[in-house]
Amino acid sequence: MTLTKMIIGATSAIALAGAANAAAHMSGEMTIVSWGGAYSASQQAAYHDPYIANTGIAILNDESSGEAVAKLRAMNEAGNITWDLVDVIAADGMRLCDEGLAMEIDFDSMLAPGADGSTATEDFGETLVSVCYIPQIVFSTTFGYRTDMVPEGAAAPTGACDVFDMDTYPGRRSLEKRPIGNMEWALICDGVAIEDVYDMLETDEGLERAFAKLDTIKDMTIWWTAGAETPQLLADGEIFMGSTYNGRLFSVIAEQNQPIGMAWGNQMLDLDGWIVPTGLPDDRLARVMDYLYFATDTQRLADQAAYISYGPARASSAPLVGNHATLGIPMAPHMPTNPENMDGAFVTNYLWWADYRDEMDAKFQAWLAQ
């Protein structure tokens, strides 16, 4: 009898303790979605590893950020959110926010203040383009080329428009299998001023013009879906010139010593950051908030810049950016926002893409398949 009483007593004590802890209980595991390759590796080194060292939780990495919007829509439709934190570009963040799939964030209370004393809102400044979106980095989509495959007597390519020049630079290209960037470059390289590009893309004639320009290189183009593809295609010699995120090119040039050069002209700047999916249970949400507070503070964003050449979104992190973690080279010249790299650079119009992305996707995929 005493044994039974002991068991009942013990289980009720545990149950009560459990109930008391439920509010403070945080999940012991997170699924974080990002872009894979060198970028995910930099996040692992700068954010995940220190956090795991502090808390001992497990972090699972998913590499589906390219399809994040579609997958979150599917999860919402199915009623089962399996992701805890998702890394998306700004336009996708805005789309998700407007569809109620991303949680609204109170920046000043949920994120750490800047190390220089500023509030989170001041520190992030203009990069806060949506109430659901927590920016991490400024990156750009830009072109790389094989330095040893430049034809005799020709100058090395300097920018995006050289990719359309099949006469001077024969050889295969690789472009992103999504309309972002390709549509803008098609028009810019066809002579349209940057300010007019987005207005033109809203018209049928503008679209025709853009697709006609892309048609000139379509047969010679390999279409990539992951950022790691273009560097690998360049290293393998399968292509002469291709677009990808600038940090991936930095990795393949500096860390793998491949004969690749960067053509910064007309680079397309964009923001990349976190969103928290809506509908997370309390324990997972508590864990995500705890992680975000840590992983988006001044030092962490500066640390990430030591592994890959993306600029931190916080103003207070900029002075802390130094040298590469293992190679020791200064990172500043490789940042997309370095004045030397800014020739013809433009910032992608997040709002326009948030509004028109679905439509553009449909037209682009239809054009691609024909």
Partner 1 sequence: MALPSYASTGQKIWHYSYLTTCGLIFFFLIFPIMVIIPLAFNAQDFFTFTPEMLRLDPAGYSLKHFDDFFNNPDWYRPLQNSLKIAPVATIVSVSLGTLAAIGLSQSHVPYRRVIMAILISPMIVPLIISAAGMYFFYSSIGLQGTYWGVVLAHAILGIPFVIITVTATLVGFDKSLTRAAANMGAGPVRTFFKVQMPLILPGVISGGLFAFITSFDEVVVVIFVGSVGQKTLPWQMFTGLREQISPTILAAATVLVTISILLLITVELLRRRSERMRGMSQG
Partner 2 sequence: MSDASTTGPMRAADGTLLKVSLARALRRQKLRALMLIMPLLAFVLIGFVLPIGQMLMRSVENDIVQDTLPLTIEALQEWDSTSNESPPEAVFTALAIDLQAALESKSHTILGRRLNFEYSGITTLFRKAGRDVEDWNVETDGPFRVRFEEIDEEWIDPTMWRAILAYSGRYTAGYYLAAIDKTMVSGQIENRPKNESLHLMLFGRTAWVSILICFCTLLLGYPIAFLLSNLKARHSNLLLILVLLPFWTSLLVRTSAWKVLLQEQGVINDIMVGIGILADDNRFQMINNKLGVVIAMTHILLPFMILPLYSVMKTIPPTYVRAAKSLGATDWTAFWRVYFPQSIPGIGAGAILVFILSVGYYITPELVGGPTGSFISNRIAYQWSGAGNWGLVGALGAILLVAVLILYWVYDKIVGIDNVKLG
Binding site for partner 2 (CB under 8 A): 67, 69-71, 73-74, 77, 98-100, 170, 172, 177, 211, 222-223, 236-238, 354-356, 358-359, 361-363, 365-370
Residue 74 CA: distances (Å) to CA of 173, 207, 282: 33, 29, 21
If contact means CB under 5 to 8 A according to the sort of partner, which of partner 2, partner 1, none does residue 166 touch?
Answer: none
If contact means CB under 5 to 8 A according to the sort of partner, which of partner 2, partner 1, none does residue 62 touch?
Answer: partner 1
Output the smallest distance, CB 177 to partner 1, in A: 11
Contact 269, 336 (CB under 8 A): yes
Output the smallest distance, CB 159 to partner 1, in A: 25
Contacts of 96 (CB under 8 A, 6+ apart): 68, 69, 72, 88, 102, 132, 275
The span from the CA of 169 to the CA of 154, in Å, is: 8
- Name the one residue in this structure whose structure tokens are 């009560």: 16
Output the smallest distance, CB 106 to partner 1, in A: 29
Q: Which C-beta is closer to partner 1: that of 56 or that of 153?
A: 56
What residues line the site for partner 1 (CB under 8 A)?
31, 36-37, 60-63, 74-75, 77-80, 82, 225-226, 228-229, 232-233, 235-236
Paired with 100 in beta bridges are none
Output the smallest distance, CB 183 to partner 1, in A: 23
Output the smallest distance, CB 79 to partner 1, in A: 6
If contact means CB under 5 to 8 A according to the sort of partner, which of partner 1, partner 2, none does residue 93 touch?
Answer: none
HSE of 274, CA atoms in CB hemisphere, 13 A: 25
Q: How far is CA 164 from the centre of its chain?
A: 26
The span from the CA of 147 to the CA of 84, in Å, is: 42
Output the smallest distance, CB 226 to partner 1, in A: 4
Contacts of 90 (CB under 8 A, 6+ apart): 129, 130, 133, 135, 270, 271, 272, 273, 348, 350
Q: Which C-beta is closer to partner 2: that of 233 or that of 295?
A: 233
Q: Which C-beta is closer to partner 1: that of 23 or that of 78?
A: 78
Q: Which C-beta is closer to partner 2: that of 222 or that of 342?
A: 222
Q: Which C-beta is closer to partner 2: that of 225 or that of 323?
A: 225
